[in-house]
A and B are shown apart, each in its own frame.
Chain A
């Protein structure tokens, strides 16, 4: 009887478990299925970057510049991103015509930052970041992006890297305009030349009008070490809808120096002959001027600024061999009290993108 009773009791329990197991399994199946779908759509780490090899001939002196700039992107969850860019650059010259090329190979951490996308209006960044003064330093610096390979003369002004915290974001203010902003504070780093920064506070604000494809904005920075000076900058960018043309300009005014540059690039995709070659060809030009500031020539040289007022005009051509690979050539003429000079350049720039995880189906 006991056995029978136990058997009788056992069977109903087994039966009553069945729907529970089925329910559990069937409910969990789509959940796991959804989780797998989610996993398969998650962003993966990427090793990107650019490389270039150029020859710059300035006033008859040849400089061979080779550089590799790897960029590491590691997304974490839905709102975090670790990003970093380093620069390895070799600059080789002949001390005398009879000697071989020689020169320093430098390395530098341009940025190594952690981003937290808090909401559509705010991204919080901590770590080392590119100082958002003007637009060239942050957006246009990579060799595969810039129209002309020579740095603008005013680039060193207030663009030393920052170590600290930054608040930034971009959002539509109405149907016709988007606003973008960045506010930052940087502490001074000491000792390591490859990660030097300045103690500074500043911000940048811009308005982008998608209709006319026009962006205008301004930057401000106050240095909180040595000479406590303010610096200002303005930038503008315009792409007419009917032409494959891009126009940009930037000006900066600071204690160390002042100046402006304006450049344009026209893609020959609308030319009706040799279309295969023409659509890969881009003509570029830049006009710029630099005015020395209140610092000595030696300090200016340390910052990468010229020791004398200089005007310069450049023209160039870029030929896109394929996506991410372009050949460049340019000519420029500089006018300065220290002596006028010609500047030639030619070379090649390449950009790569390597996934560091399974990419899933295309």
Chain B
């Protein structure tokens, strides 16, 4: 009987720990205690990656889509996904090209 409060306390702590962890993993990796510096570095790297993906996406867009037709305007992401799935089949563009073009067209 004396161990009950301790067990309850452990359960509560465990529950909040797991719940917190689920939030953390759901939102993706986040900074730790000494996170400010790491966070900035990660953001810069991510921005560079995003810029690189955007540039690559535009290049793939012009190379693949421009082969057959004039560049269309950008559409909302959910429409672009459908259009690109259609074009992937129709024009046999590669999986990587499709992903980069989708990234570029939905930015």
Binding site for B on A (CB under 8 A): 12, 15-16, 18-20, 22-23, 26-27, 29-31, 33-34, 40-46, 48, 73, 75, 81, 83, 115, 117, 120, 123, 125, 138-140, 144-145, 168-172, 178, 180-182, 206, 210, 213, 215, 237, 239, 246, 267, 320, 323-324, 353, 355, 357-362
B 64-86 to A, binary, CB cutoff 8 A, 1 in contact else 0: 00111110111111110111011
> B69's contact among A117, A123, A145, by CB below 8 Å, is which?
A145
- Those 9 A-B pairs whose CB atoms lie nearest each other, nearest first: A26-B19, A30-B26, A170-B92, A23-B15, A43-B81, A120-B95, A180-B92, A359-B76, A19-B15
What are 26 sample pairs from A and B whose C-beta atoms fall under 8 A apart? A16-B11, A19-B15, A23-B15, A26-B19, A27-B18, A29-B23, A30-B23, A33-B26, A41-B77, A43-B85, A44-B79, A46-B79, A46-B82, A48-B83, A81-B89, A117-B85, A139-B68, A145-B68, A145-B69, A180-B92, A182-B92, A267-B70, A353-B79, A360-B77, A362-B76, A362-B77
**Chain B residues within an 8 Å CB radius of A40:** 78
Are A73 and B86 neighbours in the complex by a CB distance under 8 Å? yes
**Chain B residues within an 8 Å CB radius of A178:** 94, 97
**A117–B5 Cα gap in the complex (Å)?**
55
Binding site for A on B (CB under 8 A): 4, 8, 11-12, 14-16, 18-20, 22-23, 26-27, 60, 63, 66-70, 72-79, 81-83, 85-86, 88-97
> A239's contact among B20, B66, B70, by CB below 8 Å, is which?
B66
Q: A81-B85, A83-B89, A117-B88 are in contact. Are A359 and B79 (CB under 8 A)?
A: yes
**Chain B residues within an 8 Å CB radius of A359:** 75-79
Are A27 and B67 neighbours in the complex by a CB distance under 8 Å? no
**A359–B78 Cα gap in the complex (Å)?**
6
In the complex, the chain B residue whose C-beta lies closest to that of A113 is B89
**Chain A residues within an 8 Å CB radius of B75:** 353, 359
> A355's contact among B15, B16, B68, B76, by CB below 8 Å, is which?
B76
Are B82 and A181 neighbours in the complex by a CB distance under 8 Å? no
**A115–B63 Cα gap in the complex (Å)?**
24
Of listed B18, B77, B91, B97, residue having the most chain A CB within 10 A? B77
**Chain B residues within an 8 Å CB radius of A246:** 67
**Chain B residues within an 8 Å CB radius of A123:** 88-89
Please report whether the interface of chain A is mostly helix, strand, loop or mixed according to DSSP: mixed
Of listed A26, A123, A180, A213, residue having the most chain B CB within 10 A? A26
In the complex, the chain A residue whose C-beta lies closest to that of B24 is A30
**A22–B20 Cα gap in the complex (Å)?**
11
**A210–B93 Cα gap in the complex (Å)?**
11
Are A355 and B92 neighbours in the complex by a CB distance under 8 Å? no
- How near does chain B come to A11, taking the closest CB pair, in angstroms? 11
**A213–B92 Cα gap in the complex (Å)?**
15
- How near does chain B come to A136, taking the closest CB pair, in angstroms? 10
Are B15 and A115 neighbours in the complex by a CB distance under 8 Å? no
- How near does chain B come to A173, taking the closest CB pair, in angstroms? 10
In the complex, the chain B residue whose C-beta lies closest to that of A81 is B85
> A45's contact among B70, B73, B82, B95, by CB below 8 Å, is which?
B82
**A20–B19 Cα gap in the complex (Å)?**
11
Are A73 and B92 neighbours in the complex by a CB distance under 8 Å? no
Q: A23-B15, A140-B68 are in contact. Are A81 and B86 (CB under 8 A)?
A: yes
**Chain A residues within an 8 Å CB radius of B90:** 138-139
Are B79 and A34 neighbours in the complex by a CB distance under 8 Å? no
**Chain B residues within an 8 Å CB radius of A81:** 82, 85-86, 89
- How near does chain A come to B6, taking the closest CB pair, in angstroms? 13
Given A15-B8, A171-B94, A360-B76, 15 further pairs, Cβ under 8 A: A20-B11, A22-B15, A40-B78, A41-B77, A43-B79, A46-B83, A117-B88, A139-B68, A170-B91, A172-B96, A206-B92, A210-B63, A213-B63, A355-B78, A359-B76
Are A19 and B11 neighbours in the complex by a CB distance under 8 Å? yes
Are B92 and A181 neighbours in the complex by a CB distance under 8 Å? yes
**Chain A residues within an 8 Å CB radius of B20:** 26
Are A357 and B78 neighbours in the complex by a CB distance under 8 Å? yes
